Amino acid sequence: MQHLPTSRFRTPLLQRLLFFIGMVVLGTAQACSSTSKLPPAQSSTEFYQKYKAEAGFKGTTIPVGLVTRLFAKEIQDTTVRAALSNITSVRALTFTPTDRKARRLLENGLTQELDQVLQKENYTAVPFLTETPGALQFKMRQANDQVQEIVGYRKYGNNFLMLQINGRFTRDQVQQLLQKVDPDVFLPLLE
């Protein structure tokens, strides 16, 4: 009886099994790769959709009724009340990096990608707000005389926050709304 050398890589079944395991590992590695591999977002809504389910991100839709109730008792200004009643949706996206790749995304890509979206879609800075360090930076998109969307965002420490408010507002309503409502009030709703 001739003794054939045994090698764990010679049997076809074992080769197929190793190939399958290799493909699973490769697929898992690709699925866990940095979110920067995804194509750049083309709108703020697409930016939200792109990142909301990625590791370290949390996307939250805040009920409009909750927003209205939260501020209605404290605010008597009719312009601000009208703005609150014109809100159609409020979404927030938060990000806390979970690893080194995610920290690089925060440092070298996340705010830049959103800046490009806002620039391309002709968002303008909200001119009546001061740009203090650490504060949300607000941009608005309007058609004719109606502001349709307000986007506020900031990178603070190792975190990122984007707040997206959709509705139909006048510029005066936006001004009054952003001067009277502290966006940080939303942070406990996101946890």
**121-180 pLDDT per residue, tens:** 888 888 766 566 667 788 999 888 899 999 988 887 788 999 999 999 998 888 888 877
d(CA 125, CA 105): 24
Angle at 45 between CA 96 and CA 63, to 5 degrees: 80
Is position 96 within any domain?
Answer: yes
> Is there a domain that residue 28 lies in?
no
Q: Among 5-19, 49-63, 74-88, whose mean pLDDT is lowest?
A: 5-19
Structure-derived torsion over alpha carbons of residues 160, 43, 121, 71, reported in degrees to the nearest 10 = -60
Q: How far is CA 183 from CA 28, 38, 50, 55, 124, in A?
A: 38, 29, 23, 24, 19
Instruction: Give phi and psi for 132, each to the nearest 5.
Output: -80, 145
- Domain containing 67 equals 36-190
Tell me: the pLDDT tens digits for 63-92?
Answer: 988 888 877 777 788 888 888 889 999 999
Q: Domain total for the chain? A: 1
> Is 98 contained in some domain?
yes
**pTM of the full structure:** 0.73
Judged by DSSP in three states, 86 sits in coil
23 within some domain? no
Per-residue pLDDT for 25 more than 60? Answer: no
Has residue 88 been placed in a domain?
yes
189 against 182, higher pLDDT: 182
Could you tell me if residue 164 is inside a domain?
A: yes
Q: Give domain status of residue 19, yes or no.
A: no
Joined tokens for residue 128: 């009546």
The answer to whether residue 40 sits within a structural domain is yes
Residue 183: pLDDT band by 50, 70, 90 thresholds? low
